[in-house]
Amino acid sequence: MEAQKYVWDGAIPLQIHLHESQVTTLPPPPPALILAPRIGYLPLLASLLKPYFSSTLPPGVDTIWFDYNGLPLKWYIPTGVLFDLLCAEPERPWNLTVHFRGYPGTVLIPCEGEDSVKWSYINSLKEAAYIMNGNCKNVMNMSQSDQLELWHSVMNGNLETYQRVSSKLKLATVEDEHTSLCSSKSQQGFGETDLAGQVKTGRVPVRLYVWSVSEDFDDLEDMPKVDSWEKISYINRPVEIHKEAGVDFEDALRIPSEDVSSDKVVEDHVQNAYEHREACSISSSAEIKLIRIQGIEPKLEIPFSWVVNNLMNPDYFLHICVCVKVPQQNST
Amino acid sequence: MMDLLHWDGTLSAKDFRIGAVAFAQKWESLNFAFPPWVWVPCPKHPWLASPELLQEEGYLSMEKICISRLNEEDIDQTTQIDTDEEEASCSGNKDVIDDATLVQRNHHELHYYDFHIVYSNTFRVPVLYLRAYCSDGQPLQLDEIEKELPTCSSKELSKSKWTFITQEEHPHLKRPWYKLHPCGTGEWMKLLFLNDTAQPKFEVVLELYLLSWFSVVGQVVGLRIPFKMLNDR
C-alpha cells in the first residue's frame, strides 16, 4: 500500500517560537526547527521542546499548548490536518508559538501530556470502529500490550507495526478494485448483510472541517485567514455509501446521509429514503473551492473508496478540509 | 411496520428530535422537582444542508441543578424561571436569566450542574453532556465531580476512566464539557424495550425512548426518576 506509506512519511516543517512571556533569558532562544509528522499530534513534541527551551523557561508547572497567529490550536486534531486547515497557502516552515503556561482552559480541553493524546486517539478509534462495525468491542477488548503497541506505532510513525496490530482489529474497510488487486492481506468486506441477505449501506468515518468564503481568490495567499474556531464548521458525521454504487469523492461529500428512521423498511427504501433523508455534508448550492486531505488536493472524480483506503489517518478517520464558496449573505 | 426484534436500539436524528420533544413534555407532566428540559436549536450554515431538508438540529438543556453531595437519595430543589425558547441559542445560553432559589440542606459549598442531551451522529443515540461549577462560576474538575456521583458510578470510573466520563468539546457550544460515553447505549436501550411484554409500536417506543434512556443514565449523575412514573403510560 504505497500511498499509505507516503501518508505516514508526510511531515510538516515547523518553526516553533517560545512565547515571549516565558522567555527569561537574553538573548531569547532561537526558534526550534522540527519536522512534525502529519499523522501525529502537537503535544507529542513536548519531549523535544521542553528540553530545548528548558534553560529559559520560568519555574513552575508546565502544560504545553500551541497557537498559530494567536489562535490556540486544538491538540486532538492531527498536525497535518491543522496545517491544511489553517494555511490555505502552505507556509513552510510553519511558524507556531509554543506556551508552557497559561493554558486556555475555557477554549481547549485539558491535555495532560502523552496520556491525554493517547486516550483521545483510542476514543477516536473506538468511534471509527463503531461506525464501521456497529460496535466498539474489538477496540475495547484489545489487550493492554496491543493497545500500547498500536499507540507507540502511531507516535513513532512505524507503519509496519501499525499495520500488524491494527489488522487484528478487523475493522471493515471499503473495498475497491485497486485494493483487492494489489493487496495481499485479506480485507473484510465493507458493509454487512442484513437478515434479508441484502447488503446494507456501509458507514465510513469522516471528519469534515469546513470554512466558507464569499468570493473567488486568485491567490490562496489572499484568502482571509482563519482567526477563530467559530469560522470553522466541524462535522463529525459518517458518510453512508452503498457498496456497489461506485461513488466518486465529490458525491460522497454531497451525499445526504440516508435516514433509515422510524419506518425501517428494508425492502423498498427508495421512496422512504427520499422522504426521510437527512441533510448531511455539503449542499449542491455550495461551490467547493478547495479540498485538502493529507496535504493533497484530490480530484473530485476519484473513487471515494480509494480516498478512504489510502488517505485515512491512523484513527481510521478521513479528515477532510474543505473551503466552500457561498453567495454573500445579506442578513446574518 | 418496524419490528422491535430487528431494531438495534438506535435513533435517527429526526427521531431524536421527535423523541426529545416528547421527553420534555412528559418530564413536565410528571411534575418532578426539576426544572423543565428546554430544546435549544442550533441553526446550520445554509451551505451545510439542502434547502428542502433544513432540519433543525439542537439539543435538550436543563441547567443550574444543584446536587447535594451528602444526600444521594434526595436532590436539592432548584427552581428557575423558564427560559424563553427564542432567546436561548447556541451562543447565548450563558445569558439565561437565573433566579434560582435553593433549599439549602447543608452548609457546604454548593455545586451546580448543567445537563445537555445531545444527539450523536456516530452512535445514533442521545449522549449526556454535563458540566459542574461552584456558585462563583469556577468550574469543577472531574475528580471533584466524581466525589459527588453515586458510589457505584465512582467505582466504574476508577476502574476504567476512559470508558465512562470523558472531557470533550461540546459539539455545538465548542467548549470543554464532560460527556458520558455512549458506546453500548443502543444495546441496552434495545434490551429495555424488548423486556416489555406489550410489544409496543415504534411510535410508542420513540415517545418513551428518552425517558427510558434517562432513567438509566440519569442515575449515574444522581438524578433519579421514581420508577412508578415510568410505568404509568
Domain CATH code at residue A317: 3.10.20.90
The answer to whether residues B63 and B141 belong to one domain is: yes
The answer to whether residues A12 and A119 belong to one domain is: no
What's the structural domain count of chain A? 3
Mutate to test the interface with A, among B11, B45, B163 (most CBs of A within 10 A): B45
Least confident segment among A78-87, A181-190, B66-75: A181-190
* Res. B226 pLDDT band, cuts 50 70 90: low
Between the ranges A198-202, A278-282, A303-307, where is the mean pLDDT highest?
A: A303-307
Confidence at residue A162, expressed as pLDDT on a 0 to 100 scale: 96
The answer to whether residues A95 and A118 belong to one domain is: no
* CA–centroid distance for B101 within its chain: 22
Closest chain B C-alpha to A107 CA, distance in angstroms: 6
A225 within domain boundaries: yes
Confidence at residue B49, expressed as pLDDT on a 0 to 100 scale: 59
* CA–centroid distance for B4 within its chain: 24
The answer to whether residues A143 and A240 belong to one domain is: no
pLDDT in tens, A236-275: 888 887 765 667 777 777 755 444 333 333 333 333 333 3
Tell me which of B83, B107, B131 is where a domain ends.
B107
Q: Which residues of B touch A122 (CB under 8 A)?
A: 162
The answer to whether residues B166 and B65 belong to one domain is: yes
What average pLDDT is seen over chain B? 73
Chain B residue with minimum CA distance to A77: B169
Say if residue B40 is exposed, middle or buried (CB neighbours under 10 Å; 0-12, 13-18, 19+).
buried
The pLDDT of residue A219 is above 90: no
Query: What is the number of alpha carbons within 13 Å of residue A26 lying toward its C-beta?
Result: 0
Closest chain B C-alpha to A29 CA, distance in angstroms: 33
Q: What is the mean predicted confidence (pLDDT) over A69-75?
A: 96
Query: What is the number of alpha carbons within 13 Å of residue B185 lying toward its C-beta?
Result: 26
**Residue linked to cell 459539539:** B171
The answer to whether residues A71 and A154 belong to one domain is: no
Least confident segment among A77-91, A150-164, A220-234, B88-102: B88-102
Confidence at residue B217, expressed as pLDDT on a 0 to 100 scale: 85
The dihedral built from the CA positions of residue B5, B8, B11 and B12, taken in this order, carries a sign that is: negative
**Residue linked to cell 440542606:** B105
Cis peptide bond N-terminal to A27, omega within 30: yes
Confidence at residue B149, expressed as pLDDT on a 0 to 100 scale: 73
A178 within domain boundaries: no
Q: What is the mean predicted confidence (pLDDT) over B52-65?
A: 77
Chain A residue with minimum CA distance to B10: A261
Q: Does B49 sit within 8 Å of A283, measured CB to CB?
A: yes
The pLDDT of residue B233 is above 60: no
**Residue linked to cell 452548609:** B107
Q: What is the mean predicted confidence (pLDDT) over A269-282?
A: 39
Contact at 8 Å (CB) between A327 and A214? yes
Range of the domain at B198: 4-69+111-231
Tell me which of A99, A125, A153 is where a domain ends.
A99
The answer to whether residues A40 and A95 belong to one domain is: yes
CB atoms within 10 A of CB B11: 29
Q: Which of B126, B158, B153 is nearest to B67 (CA)?
A: B153
Q: Does A110 sit within 8 Å of B167, measured CB to CB?
A: yes
**Residue linked to cell 439542502:** B50
Confidence at residue B82, expressed as pLDDT on a 0 to 100 scale: 37
The answer to whether residues B33 and B123 belong to one domain is: yes
Total-model pTM: 0.80
Contact at 8 Å (CB) between A172 and A282? no
Q: What is the mean predicted confidence (pLDDT) over A54-73?
A: 90
Confidence at residue A29, expressed as pLDDT on a 0 to 100 scale: 93
Which DSSP state fits A248? B
Any CB–CB contact under 8 A between B201 and chain A?
no
CATH number at residue A125: 1.10.246.190
* Res. A277 pLDDT band, cuts 50 70 90: very low
Higher pLDDT, B165 or A167: A167
A64 within domain boundaries: yes
Indicate the helix (H) or strand (E) that contains A162.
helix A159-167
* Res. A76 pLDDT band, cuts 50 70 90: very high
The answer to whether residues A9 and A73 belong to one domain is: yes
The answer to whether residues A86 and A132 belong to one domain is: no
**Residue linked to cell 505516514:** A8
Q: Which residues of A touch B50 (CB under 8 A)?
A: 256, 279, 283-284
Cβ-nearest to A263 among B2, B169, B175: B2
* Res. B174 pLDDT band, cuts 50 70 90: confident
Residue A76 carries which side chain, given as an amino acid letter? Y
Angle (CA) A255 A261 A263, round 5°:
125
Cβ-nearest to B47 among A107, A205, A286: A286
Indicate the helix (H) or strand (E) that contains A325.
strand A318-325
Tell me which of A168, A185, A210 is where a domain ends.
A168
Between the ranges A111-115, B101-105, B227-231, where is the mean pLDDT highest?
A: A111-115
Interchain CB contacts (distance < 8 Å): A and B: 107
Cβ-nearest to B121 among A109, A237, A285: A237
The pLDDT of residue A121 is above 50: yes
Confidence at residue A316, expressed as pLDDT on a 0 to 100 scale: 96
Q: Which of A66, A64, A68 is nearest to A95 (CA)?
A: A68
pLDDT in tens, B96-130: 444 444 444 344 678 899 999 999 988 899 999 99
- The string of DSSP codes covering B119-164 is EETTTTEEEEEEEEEETT-PBPPHHHHHHHS-HHHHHHHHH-GGGT
Chain A residue with minimum CA distance to B181: A123
The answer to whether residues A127 and A44 belong to one domain is: no
CATH number at residue B175: 3.30.1460.50
The pLDDT of residue B207 is above 70: yes
The answer to whether residues B39 and B96 belong to one domain is: no
Range of the domain at A157: 114-168
- The string of DSSP codes covering B11-72 is --HHHHHHHHHHHHHHHHHTT-SSPPPEEEEEPPPGGGS-GGG-PPEEEEEEEEEE--SS-S
The pLDDT of residue B47 is above 70: no
A83 within domain boundaries: yes
The answer to whether residues B83 and B137 belong to one domain is: no
Least confident segment among A196-210, A308-322, B69-83: B69-83
Q: What is the mean predicted confidence (pLDDT) over B191-203?
A: 76
The pLDDT of residue A187 is above 80: no
The answer to whether residues B60 and B77 belong to one domain is: no
Contact at 8 Å (CB) between A326 and A233? no
The pLDDT of residue A84 is above 60: yes
Q: What is the mean predicted confidence (pLDDT) over B151-179?
A: 72
Q: Does A130 sit within 8 Å of B183, measured CB to CB?
A: yes
Closest chain B C-alpha to A33 CA, distance in angstroms: 30
The answer to whether residues B197 and B150 belong to one domain is: yes
The answer to whether residues A224 and A248 belong to one domain is: yes
Q: Which residues of B touch A264 (CB under 8 A)?
A: 2, 6-7
Q: Which residues, other chains included, contact A197 with Cβ-Cβ below 8 Å and sequence gap of 6+? A: none
Confidence at residue A14, expressed as pLDDT on a 0 to 100 scale: 97
Measure the CA–CA gap between A171 and A128, rounded to whole angstroms: 9
* Res. B200 pLDDT band, cuts 50 70 90: confident
Indicate the helix (H) or strand (E) that contains A85.
helix A79-86
Least confident segment among A262-271, B8-17, B202-211: A262-271
Q: What is the mean predicted confidence (pLDDT) over A160-187?
A: 67
Q: Does B169 sit within 8 Å of A107, measured CB to CB?
A: no
Catalytic one of B66, B90, B152, B183: B183
Higher pLDDT, B203 or B104: B203
> A9 in helix, strand or coil?
helix
A144 within domain boundaries: yes
A109 within domain boundaries: no
Q: Which three cell numbers stand for residue B125?
A: 443515540
Contact at 8 Å (CB) between B25 and B211? no
pLDDT in tens, A28-58: 999 999 999 999 999 999 999 999 998 888 8
Q: Which residues of A touch B121 (CB under 8 A)?
A: 236-238, 257
Measure the CA–CA gap between A307 and A318, rounded to whole angstroms: 8
A180 within domain boundaries: no
Q: Which residues, other chains included, contact B124 with Cβ-Cβ below 8 Å and sequence gap of 6+? A: B10, B11, B12, B186
Q: Does A126 sit within 8 Å of B12, measured CB to CB?
A: no
Share of chain A above pLDDT 90, in %: 46
The answer to whether residues B103 and B38 belong to one domain is: no
The answer to whether residues B42 and B141 belong to one domain is: yes
Chain A residue with minimum CA distance to B162: A119
Cβ-nearest to B14 among A130, A230, A261: A261
Say if residue A75 is exposed, middle or buried (CB neighbours under 10 Å; 0-12, 13-18, 19+).
buried
The answer to whether residues A231 and A303 belong to one domain is: yes
Q: Which of B43, B92, B86 is nearest to B63 (CA)?
A: B92
- The string of DSSP codes covering A118-160 is HHHHHHHHHHHHHHHHS--HHHHT--HHHHHHHHHHHHHT-HH
Q: Which residues of B touch A326 (CB under 8 A)?
A: 45-47
Tell me which of A125, A146, A168 is where a domain ends.
A168
Q: Which residues of A touch B45 (CB under 8 A)?
A: 210, 212, 233, 326
Higher pLDDT, A83 or A276: A83
What's the structural domain count of chain B? 2
The dihedral built from the CA positions of residue A81, A85, A86 and A90, taken in this order, carries a sign that is: positive
The answer to whether residues A79 and A137 belong to one domain is: no
**Residue linked to cell 431524536:** B16
Any CB–CB contact under 8 A between B5 and chain A?
no
Cβ-nearest to B48 among A134, A276, A283: A283
The answer to whether residues B90 and B132 belong to one domain is: no
A284 within domain boundaries: yes
The reply to whether B134 belongs to the active site is: no
Any CB–CB contact under 8 A between B183 and chain A?
yes
The answer to whether residues A119 and A86 belong to one domain is: no
The answer to whether residues B127 and B46 belong to one domain is: yes
Q: Does B123 sit within 8 Å of A130, measured CB to CB?
A: yes
Strand partners, A36: A12
Any CB–CB contact under 8 A between A104 and chain B?
no
The CA-based dihedral angle spanning residues B214, B81, B112, A116, taken in that order and rounded to the nearest 10 degrees? 60
Confidence at residue A80, expressed as pLDDT on a 0 to 100 scale: 97
